[in-house]
């Protein structure tokens, strides 16, 4: 089959290097198929309005793109990517009219558009899951009571309430939901229209195309926007990466806090495994795998930003690796976040065991505070508490307060905002498809 670039100055050689050049591009690009079709529908609706090609050709192309959205097609590796596959499908269904499918378009601006549309969609999905996890942690915060040891340097430091600890977990996921929502909203500029990075030769009005896709017009300088390739993938993944790092740290806590030595929490069945030899084991394999996936994503992110470093301005072929890193990282994160509400809903807290584990010395700081409130200087109060610990004197067990900040009302507001964004983009897609269908029926 002819490549999308067949007919240009470059010719195919006798050696097949497709495995190195495109590898699993079509597997990754399968995720972009819907967004590719929607962007092309928006483009050709504007081409029809402006009469840039014969109206019957525009109608034929739009009809093929609508057919593509209704078909569950699998991209063919020999056509290299989503662009080549879509072009082949449209030409096969539209005949010669399909030759103008990609009128003055570059694959660079097309895949960049797909990346932004796909990344925006997945960030909103992740944001919603993150808010749901926060709600699950919040329910446990309100259910649990009692105190637990607080650790620094893997040593007991102060006593903290379990409500404060669960609120900490809820806060991580609430803040991540907000950050991912904000990042999704920042994916506002439409790359379609910068050509190969030097401006488009198309006479289509890209400001109207941008509006029809719920995005902003291309900034004045096309080289700047094209230079965002790779950086955009990093921007999309950064809030997700930070959340995965926090998930890894929570996992480390719960691995320690559910073990034989510090049995504060009980992990739910289904998230622990047994040993093939030792019948007594309840291994925290799920949490350990979360830590492994977090480490994997850190490595992938470092690979991503390394790809775009030390490059001249303009597109480079190895940037295609960045889309693979982005897609796989987002897919893995979605699969993790989907099941975390059930995990947190199933954990238990053993207040009695926790109370027995707390060392009396962990009350030193709060006892120093009490001495200060009784008139001692802070330095004297601190020293006196230290002396009591050194001499093994019993410190007063002063119950910690609850430092809680997360509310169900705020979480509901965040979820509503995420739903509104998802609904807005769904409405945009539905409107585009409806306009295309109306045009193809009436012509």
- Same domain? 125 vs 256: yes
pLDDT, tens digit, for every residue of 182-216? 999 999 889 999 999 999 999 999 999 999 999 98
Q: Please, which pLDDT band fits residue 317 given cuts at 50, 70 and 90?
A: confident
Residues 72 and 122 occupy one common structural domain: no
Average pLDDT over residues 373-391: 97
- For the stretch 64-74, pLDDT in tens is 999 999 998 99
Residue 20 has pLDDT above 90, yes or no: no
Measured distance CA(138)–CA(275) in Å, rounded: 33
Tell me: the pLDDT tens digits for 81-127? 999 999 999 999 999 999 999 999 999 999 999 999 999 999 999 99
Q: How many independent structural domains does the chain possess?
A: 2
Asked whether residue 70 falls in the same domain as residue 182, the answer is no
The answer to whether residues 61 and 132 belong to one domain is: no
123 and 253 belong to one structural domain: yes
Residue 389 maps to a domain: no
318 with 287, same domain: the answer is: yes
**pLDDT digit string, tens, across residues 122-175:** 999 999 999 999 999 999 999 999 999 999 999 999 999 999 999 999 999 999
pLDDT for position 21:
47
Show the 3-state SS of the chain.
CCCCCCCCCCCCCCCCCHHHHCCCHHHHHHHHHHHHHHHHHHHHHHHHHHCCCCHHHHHHHHHHHHHHHHCCCCCCHHHCCHHHHHHHHHHHHHHHHHHHCCCCCCHHHHHHHHHHHHHHHHHHHHHHHHHHHHHHHHHHHHHCCCEEEEEECCEEEEEEEHHHHHHHHHHHHHHHHHHHHHHHHHCCECCCCCCCCCCCCCCCCHHHHHHHCCCECCCCCHHHHHCCCCHHHHHHHHHHHHHHHHHHHHHHHHHHCECCCCECEECCCCCCECCCCCCCCCECHHHHHHHHHHHHHHHHHHHHHHHHCCCCCCCCHHHHHHHHHHHHHHHHHHHHHHHHHHHHHHCEECHHHHHHHCCHHHHHHHHHHHHHHCCCCHHHHHHHHHHHHHCCCCCCCCCCCCCCCCCHHHHHHHHHHHHHHHHHHHHHHHHHHHHHHHHHHHC
> What integer best gives the mean pLDDT of the chain?
94
The answer on pLDDT for 304 being more than 60 is yes
pLDDT of residue 16: 54
Q: Are residues 224 and 314 in the same domain?
A: yes
Instruction: Give residue 6's pLDDT.
Output: 55
Does pLDDT of 17 surpass 50? no
Structural domain boundaries, residue 98? 23-106+428-442
Residues 74 and 172 grouped into a single domain:
no
- Predicted confidence band at 228 (pLDDT cuts at 50, 70, 90)? very high
Residues 169 and 180 in one domain: yes
Cα-only R_g, the chain:
28
Which residue is it, tokens 């930003």? 305
Report the alpha-carbon distance of residue 272 to residue 290 in Å, rounded: 13
Q: How much is the pLDDT for 335?
A: 98
8 A C-beta contact, residue 330 and residue 143: no
> What is the pLDDT at residue 414?
98
Residues 54 and 189 placed together within one structural domain of the fold? no
Confidence check: pLDDT of 247 > 50: yes
- Same domain flag for 133 and 94: no
Regarding whether 294 and 340 lie in a shared domain, the answer is yes
Q: Which residues contact 392 (CB under 8 A, 6 or more apart)?
A: none
List the CATH number of the domain containing 89: 1.10.275.10
The answer to pTM > 0.85 is yes
Confidence at 438, pLDDT banded by 50, 70, 90: very high
pLDDT surpassing 60 at residue 322: yes
């Amino acid at each position: 089959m002819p490549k999308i670039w067949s007919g240009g100055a470059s010719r195919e050689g006798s050696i097949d290097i497709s495995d190195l050049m495109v590898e699993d591009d079509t597997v990754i690009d399968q995720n972009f198929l819907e967004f590719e079709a929607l962007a092309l529908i928006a483009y050709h609706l504007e081409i029809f309005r402006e009469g840039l090609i014969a109206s019957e050709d525009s109608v034929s192309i739009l009809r093929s793109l609508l057919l593509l959205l209704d078909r569950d097609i699998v991209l063919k590796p020999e056509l290299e990517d989503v662009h080549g596959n879509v072009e082949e499908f449209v030409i096969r269904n539209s005949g010669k009219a399909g030759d103008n499918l990609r009128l003055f378009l570059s694959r660079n601006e097309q895949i960049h558009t797909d990346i932004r549309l796909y990344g925006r969609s997945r960030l909103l999905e992740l944001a919603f899951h993150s808010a749901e996890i926060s709600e699950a942690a919040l329910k446990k915060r309100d259910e649990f009571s009692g105190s637990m040891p607080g650790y620094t340097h893997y040593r007991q430091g102060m006593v903290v309430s379990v409500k404060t600890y669960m609120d900490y977990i809820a806060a991580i996921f609430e803040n991540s939901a907000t950050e991912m929502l904000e990042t999704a909203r920042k994916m506002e500029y439409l790359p379609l229209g910068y050509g190969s990075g030097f401006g488009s030769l198309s006479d289509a009005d890209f400001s109207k195309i941008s509006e029809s896709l719920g995005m902003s017009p291309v900034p004045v300088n096309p080289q700047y926007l094209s230079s965002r390739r790779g950086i955009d993938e990093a921007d999309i993944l950064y809030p997700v990466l930070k959340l995965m790092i926090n998930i890894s740290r929570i996992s480390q806590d719960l691995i320690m806090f559910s073990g034989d030595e510090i049995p504060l929490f009980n992990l739910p069945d289904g998230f622990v495994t047994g040993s093939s030899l030792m019948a007594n084991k309840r291994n925290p394999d799920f949490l350990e795998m979360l830590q492994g996936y977090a480490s994997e994503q850190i490595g992938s992110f470092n690979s991503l930003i390394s790809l775009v470093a030390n490059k001249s301005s303009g597109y480079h072929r190895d940037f295609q690796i960045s889309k693979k890193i982005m897609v796989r990282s987002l897919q893995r994160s979605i699969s993790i976040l989907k099941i975390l509400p059930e995990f947190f809903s199933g954990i238990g807290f053993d207040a009695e065991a926790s109370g027995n584990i707390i060392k009396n010395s962990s009350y030193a700081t709060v006892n120093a505070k009490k001495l200060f409130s009784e008139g001692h200087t802070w330095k004297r109060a601190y020293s006196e508490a230290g002396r009591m610990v050194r001499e093994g004197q019993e410190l007063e067990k002063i119950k910690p307060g609850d430092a809680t900040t997360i509310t169900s009302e705020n979480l509901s507001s965040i979820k509503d905002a995420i739903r509104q964004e998802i609904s807005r983009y769904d409405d945009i897609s539905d409107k585009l498809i409806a306009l295309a269908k109306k045009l193809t029926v009436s012509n």
